Structure 1
Amino acid sequence: MSDTTQPPFSILFVDDEEMSRNHFARAIRADYCVHVARSADEAIAVLSQHGAEIAVLVTDYRMPGRDGDDLLRQVAQEYPQIVRILVTAYADKDMLLQTVNTGDVFRILEKPLRTEKVREVLQLAIARYAERETRQQRLLAMDETLAFLAHELNTPLATISLFARSVETDVGEQYDPERQREIGHAARSMLNNAQYCLTLISSFWETVHKSGGQQSASEAGIREVKATRLIATLLDTYPFVASQRDWIQVDVQGDFVVRAMPNCVALVLSSLLSNALRALDGATAPALHLEVVDNPEPEIRMRDNGPGIAPEIKARLLLDPVTTYAGAGGHGMGMIFCNRIMQSFGGCLRIESMLGEGTTITMGFPNSTGRMHTTD
């Protein structure tokens, strides 16, 4: 292994015997980065500095001061993602049963340690760690999606409330033709926003209902759906107004499978479509192109010929809560949540826009190897 290549996972080995620590480090340092500690307290100190990179804890049971069982319990509480392995040279049946029954240990290794057995158990432990990390990422993505959904519902509902209060205030007044048109526009806006809310809720509920509550998070996360299918479903269910559907053209240059969280991706698509249609409102010849490509990288592009985005706004859209639709109830959080959802499974969101020339939003997806091209 070259000096510039770092092993992907780190192991923490705890033993009060120096010879044992040296032997363990020599046996596995070709495959893993190894941290060592002489006691439970020293191990906690190591974890305070390197806990984010350590995947597996291997600790001796009999040590001066706090024993390995005590260390395992503390690590289970403070670093639950770390897989824990106990090493013992003592046939203490009660101790072993207690440790296994409390769930604080993944495997038990007997001294003297055999290199092949250690490597075998570490491979299993790393696989368990990777599984936990994947599950955690999916839970984080779910949290982001719920927050995103709450935002997407809150924004149009806030708009409904705003217009409703305006209409209520004007009740009983004499309206000139211009004011009547304004009230009519407000009423249509309330209806359109309400329909958008209902569509999102219906789509989300239908997905959950079909799963019957029995589909695991991991199964949901790896469900495979084609990109074109997501777009077709969106166009079939979105509450278009007047001739909006006629503005849209779909160009498929190469389809691909959306392997991670297709429901989350569908929400991102719905939000981006809503933004694009809003940008095109009032355009002379509105046009929105949805492009699906799989080469050189899997991407979905949404390109409109709207007014474009000012450079100072564009630079902040994915980072700060900025919006050009504050008067219509916008909070500027939609693009941030969309970006976070894409990043949660290794994707990205890119924005290209010039004033007077329209905007292109690109959803970039990991390719089959899990890597993706992220340059603008």
Structure 2
Amino acid sequence: MSDTIQAPFSILFVDDDEMSRTHFARAVRDDYRVHLAQGADEAMALLQEFGSEVAVLVTDFRMPGRDGGHLLREVAQAYPQTVRILVTAYADKDMLLQTFNTGDLFRIIEKPLRMESVREVLKQAVARYVERETRQQRLLAMDETLAFLAHELNTPLAAISLFARSVENDVAQEYDPQRQQEIGTAATSMLNNAQYCLTLISSFWATVHKSGGPQPATGSAAREVRATRLVATLLDSYPFAGSQREWIGLEMRGDFVVHAMPNCVALVLSSLLSNALRALDGCPAPSLRIEVMNGPEPEIRLHDNGPGIAPEIKARLLLDPVTTHAGRGGHGMGMIFCNRIMQSFGGGLRIESTVGEGTTVTMRFPGIRGRVHDGVNEAASDSHAA
């Protein structure tokens, strides 16, 4: 097995017999990292320390103290993502029905262990673990997307409601020119907030429909969503105002398959596009360049020549709800959730910005090893306003 596959996973083997533990470790350590325990208590202690990396638990049934059945049930509750395998002698079979039903077993392996068979079972068990982790990441991405939408839409809509109430209360009153200007400003803010909400929703759903909906689990080539197609679909469906579409240029330096949930990636891309267009509003010669770059770690970059972001604001953008668009309904939560969505795929966001020159937002996708090398730490220090 290659280092790429080996690195993220480990196997926990539990047996009170030292010779069995040594034999097992020698047989599989070239393929996996191995943790060894001689009983249920030691196994739980190891899981508490290494549970995030243990893909498979292999435990003997008959052990002093708590037996393997008890351990399997405890692990099923505390670490449901871990695939569980039971090792037993032929004489134990009559006692296994309850263990099988309550421990959610993947396989039962008979003693004496035949290591070629064990390696094949472990390969299948790790595949099952990867399936579970992928499903969990998709659920996490969906949770982040829903949270993102809730935050992105709630504050603008609340502002619309507040301004509308203010206009309604003042409409029958006589007011001086200053008050007229205040009401006009409030009406403009209402329009900007409403347009942002409609843009976000319509762009996202149009992209979903044009990309053919959710991708099949098999990932067949005919249904693959590639980055260039995702960008093109967004630009075709985005409700640009005035001459905004003319501000945008494309630079395709390769292409790659978006293995993460394309619809969620489209939502992030749509939000970044909205941010960039808002930053460019009022610029004398607005320009937005979108780049698709393939490589060991694929990227989509959005570079605008807007006013840029002050260093003290940029440093906090993915950590605190700060924004450069407060006057137009921004609240600073959008980039936090965009980054979390990208992180749930193993990627992240990176921001480079110079005041007076512009901002570059980079969507970083998992590379050949499944994650960007420094996605979490780097993304936590760099970002763009929402």
Q: TM-score, normalised by structure 1?
A: 0.86
Say if 2:82 is the partner of 1:82.
yes
Aligned to 1:293: 293
In the other structure, the counterpart of 1:352 is 352
C-alpha contact 1:249 1:290 (8 A) present in aligned 2: yes
Q: Tell me which moved more, 170-179 or 285-294.
A: 170-179
Specify the alignment match of 2:36 in structure 1: 36
Q: 1:53 and 1:158, CA in 2 relative to 1: closer, same or farther beyond 3 A?
A: same
Secondary structure of the 1:291 match is strand
Between 1:203-212 and 1:43-52, the stretch displaced more is 203-212
Task: State yes or no: 1:168 paired with 2:164.
Answer: no
**Quick one: structure 1 residues 256 and 53, their matched pair in 2 at CA, closer, same or farther if it must change by over 3 Å?**
closer
Q: In the TM superposition, what are the counterparts of 1:120-159 in structure 2 within 5 Å?
A: 120-159=120-159
Alignment partners' CA distance in 1, 2:342 and 2:260: 10
Work out whether residues 317 and 335 of structure 1, in 8 Å CA contact, stay in contact via their aligned partners in 2.
yes
Q: Deviations over 1:194-240 (max 9, x none)?
A: 24424444555677889999x68846999632323323332333333
**1-side partners of 2:7 and 2:247: how far apart?**
51
Q: Please name the residue that 1:194 is paired with.
A: 194
Unaligned ranges ≥5, structure 2: none
Output one character per residue of 1:34-57: Cα deviation in whole Å (capped at 9) or x when no partner. Answer: 222222222222222222222211
What is the DSSP-based 3-state SS (H/G/I as helix, E as strand, rest coil) of the residue aligned with 2:331? coil
Q: Distance in 1 between matches of 2:45 and 2:372?
A: 37
Q: Which runs of 5+ in 1 are unaligned?
A: none
Quote the offset at 1:180 in angstroms: 4.3
Structure 1: how far apart are the matches of 2:32 and 2:367?
Answer: 27
Root mean square deviation of aligned Cα: 3.3
Aligned partner of 1:45 in structure 2 is 45
Give the length in aligned residue pairs: 372
Q: What are the Cα deviations for residues 83-137 of structure 1, in whole angstroms up to 9, with x where unaligned?
A: 1111111334442333333352111111111221221211111111122122222
Which stretch of structure 1 is more off in the superposition, 326-335 or 264-273?
A: 326-335
Distance in 2 (alpha carbons) for counterparts of 1:27 and 1:217? 37
1:333 partner letter = M
Aligned match of 2:230: 230
Indicate the larger mover: 34-43 or 123-132: 34-43
Please report how far the alpha carbon of residue 179 of structure 1 lies from its aligned counterpart in structure 2 after TM superposition: 5.1
1:1-41 alpha-carbon deviations (Å, 9 max, x no partner): 9xxx9854222222222222222222222322222222222
Deviations 1:293-351 (A, max 9, x none): 33675332222222111011112212222112334332211111111222222323221
Q: Say if 1:177 and 1:283 are closer, same or farther in 2 by CA, change over 3 A.
A: farther
Does the CA-based 8 Å contact 1:88-1:109 persist in structure 2?
yes
Does residue 1:27 correspond to 2:27, yes or no?
yes
Tell me, yes or no, if the aligned pair for 1:7 and 1:31 is still in contact at 8 Å.
no
Secondary structure class of the residue paired with 1:147 = helix
